[in-house]
Amino acid sequence: MLNKSDSGFPKDFLWGGATAANQCEGAWNEGGKMPSISDVITNGSHKVRREITDGIIEGKYYPSHKAIDHYHRYKEDIALFAEMGFTCYRMSIAWSRIFPTGNETEPNEAGLAHYDFVFDECLKYGIEPLVTISHYEMPLGLLDKGSWLNREVVDDYLRYCKAIFNRYKGKVKHWITFNEINCISFSTWKCAGLKVTDEESKMIAAYHQFIASAQAVKLGHEIDSNNKIGMMFGGVFSYPNTCDPEDVIRNMEYMHNALFYCDVQCRGYYPAYKVKELERKGIELPILEGDSEILLSGKVDFISFSYYFSLVCGKNTPLEANHKHAFDTGYLNPYLEATEWDWKIDPIGLRYALNLFYDRYQIPVMVVENGMGAVDVLEEGIVHDPYRIDYFKSHLKEVKKAIEIDGIPVMGYTSWGCIDLVSAGTGEMKKRYGFIYVDMDDYGNGTLNRYKKDSFYWYKDVIKTNGQEL
């Protein structure tokens, strides 16, 4: 049962924010780190590999391999998180700091030590780290052997997991095996280091990630029975365009395409609809003896997800549509406003999503990314961002309803990009999510100084009152 407080949120609700190493750390070649796939991305989703240079990319993108220099400024950043009252900081470990090429047999001590400092800094303020083991990155060295198409990479990943589970035992309790695992269906390069985009390759890479994740869950529990290890879903939620049964059934099929990733990780086996689809497509998975037991024995402890918008699907939405294509199918939701990047703002959809997951899996749920990408203006050291406050307020009210009215065990809420960082989708600095402004533009101009936005003070109050004041 929930440990309820008067505010509607449980007393031990995890309040905080989220970042990813590849979008905030920079220092791509320090402390023994070698390049990861995200360091050589041209911008956002591009599949073309680029050279690492100091300059900006394609005339305007400030490079993520430099990012906001969180690697050196983590103390200042964590102090600001603490000032807001964070009880949780979702961050990721850069795999290539621990195993620089991915192939080493022993971990890199400098990399391990760096995260010891970061976790100690968090714990000093009572901030619990929630760690994404692989957030849109893997060592570039693993590409040469086929990345996730090669089963050997499962062992490389597990060697990495073993090193960090052992090293941070007692410091980190909450883990996520892969960021937005379902996004492999459209971001093959970022999610799986794949240069190809055919369906069979995606399914093979996903299969290996499922095996890796399940074994990581088991290993994590063996190393520390206090570990809670979860999966993460990239928030693709859609409504049928009309009550025409054909729209409704297409929407169901579309959602199956995404939810299958959760089904496997939460239930421990492939759902029948996916088995049938793979048969129809003639795709054979590289199943080894004992794999079904692995999947079954490595079910996750919780499900977490990102939530930014909702979509609309109908009978004309192609089945293979992913969320980026779904934007282009011509279906619009006339009831919703959109952000500057045309992401439809749908707070009620967040309550819907929380219910969907809990109904389906009956395990604790956590919102680990939510927020509004917007262009902010810094004037005399101040940023007024009422639009962001409105966005958060409306979404958190729905989280509260999911807890109070629907009885969902929501573990916590970490807003995305609690400090401005480089956008994963567009490669821009100007698409900002933070409570903290970072002085850097898309052209590489800026001091990297940090400034508190109005939303900083607002979120601080929310946390102080445990969500009473929304």
Where in the sequence numbering do the catalytic residues fall?
180, 369
Residue 293: how many CB atoms within 10 A of its CB? 11
Closest CA to 154 of 18, 325, 295: 295
| Binds ligand BGP (CB under 6 A): choice among 25, 180, 385, 442 | 180
| Binds ligand BGP (CB under 6 A): choice among 369, 398, 420, 442 | 369
Closest CA to 234 of 360, 132, 364: 132
Task: Give yes or no for residue 21 binding ligand BGP (CB under 6 A).
Answer: no
How far apart are the C-alpha atoms of 410 and 46, rounded to whole Å? Answer: 35
The CA-CA-CA angle for residues 245, 246, 248, to 5°, reads: 60
Q: Which two tokens stand for residue 121?
A: 């800094």
CB of residue 23 to ligand BGP, shortest distance in Å: 6
- 378 sits in the region (left: phi over 0; alpha: psi -120 to 50; else beta) called beta
CB of residue 421 to ligand BGP, shortest distance in Å: 8
CB of residue 304 to ligand BGP, shortest distance in Å: 11
Q: Which two tokens stand for residue 367?
A: 């919102």
CB of residue 176 to ligand BGP, shortest distance in Å: 11
CA 185 to chain centre: 15
Per-residue binding string, ligand BGP, 320-359, x by CB under 6 A, is: ----------------------------------------
Residue 58: how many CB atoms within 10 A of its CB? 10
Strand 174-176 and strand 128-132: pairing? parallel
Comparing CB distances to ligand BGP, the nearer of 43 and 87 is 43
| Binds ligand BGP (CB under 6 A): choice among 7, 38, 92, 179 | 179
- Side-chain half-sphere exposure of 430, counting CA atoms within 13 A: 11
CB 418 within 8 A of CB 17: yes
Comparing CB distances to ligand BGP, the nearer of 23 and 87 is 23
Comparing CB distances to ligand BGP, the nearer of 185 and 466 is 185
CB of residue 67 to ligand BGP, shortest distance in Å: 12
264: Cβ–Cβ under 8 A, 6 or more apart, which residues?
210, 270, 271, 274, 295
CB of residue 38 to ligand BGP, shortest distance in Å: 10
Comparing CB distances to ligand BGP, the nearer of 180 and 277 is 180
Per-residue binding string, ligand BGP, 374-393, x by CB under 6 A, is: --------------------
Task: Give yes or no for residue 17 binding ligand BGP (CB under 6 A).
Answer: no
**Exposed/middle/buried for residue 308 (C-beta within 10 Å: 0-12, 13-18, 19+):** buried
CB of residue 186 to ligand BGP, shortest distance in Å: 11
CB of residue 423 to ligand BGP, shortest distance in Å: 3
Per-residue binding string, ligand BGP, 395-434, x by CB under 6 A, is: ---------------------x------xxxx----x---
Amino acid making up residue 288: L
Comparing CB distances to ligand BGP, the nearer of 9 and 95 is 95
144: Cβ–Cβ under 8 A, 6 or more apart, which residues?
none
Comparing CB distances to ligand BGP, the nearer of 111 and 373 is 373
106: Cβ–Cβ under 8 A, 6 or more apart, which residues?
none
Per-residue binding string, ligand BGP, 112-141, x by CB under 6 A, is: ------------------------x-----
| Binds ligand BGP (CB under 6 A): choice among 14, 20, 161, 259 | 20
**Exposed/middle/buried for residue 395 (C-beta within 10 Å: 0-12, 13-18, 19+):** buried
Comparing CB distances to ligand BGP, the nearer of 430 and 453 is 430
Determine the residue with CB nearest ligand BGP: 425
Comparing CB distances to ligand BGP, the nearer of 39 and 369 is 369
How far apart are the C-alpha atoms of 137 and 179, rounded to whole Å? Answer: 9
User: How many residues line the site for ligand BGP (CB under 6 A)?
Assistant: 15
CB 230 within 8 A of CB 176: yes
Task: Give yes or no for residue 306 binding ligand BGP (CB under 6 A).
Answer: yes
From residue 413, give the alpha-carbon distance in Å to each of 46, 214, 311, 331, 366: 30, 24, 22, 30, 6
| Binds ligand BGP (CB under 6 A): choice among 240, 373, 434, 467 | 373
**Exposed/middle/buried for residue 31 (C-beta within 10 Å: 0-12, 13-18, 19+):** middle
Please name every residue paired with 2 in a beta bridge, in sequence order, or none if there are none: none
Per-residue binding string, ligand BGP, 228-267, x by CB under 6 A, is: ------x---------------------------------
How far apart are the C-alpha atoms of 185 and 199, rounded to whole Å? Answer: 8
CB of residue 341 to ligand BGP, shortest distance in Å: 7
Residue 78: how many CB atoms within 10 A of its CB? 24
Comparing CB distances to ligand BGP, the nearer of 191 and 295 is 191
Site residues (vs ligand BGP, CB under 6 A): 20, 23, 136, 179-180, 234, 306, 369, 373, 416, 423-426, 431
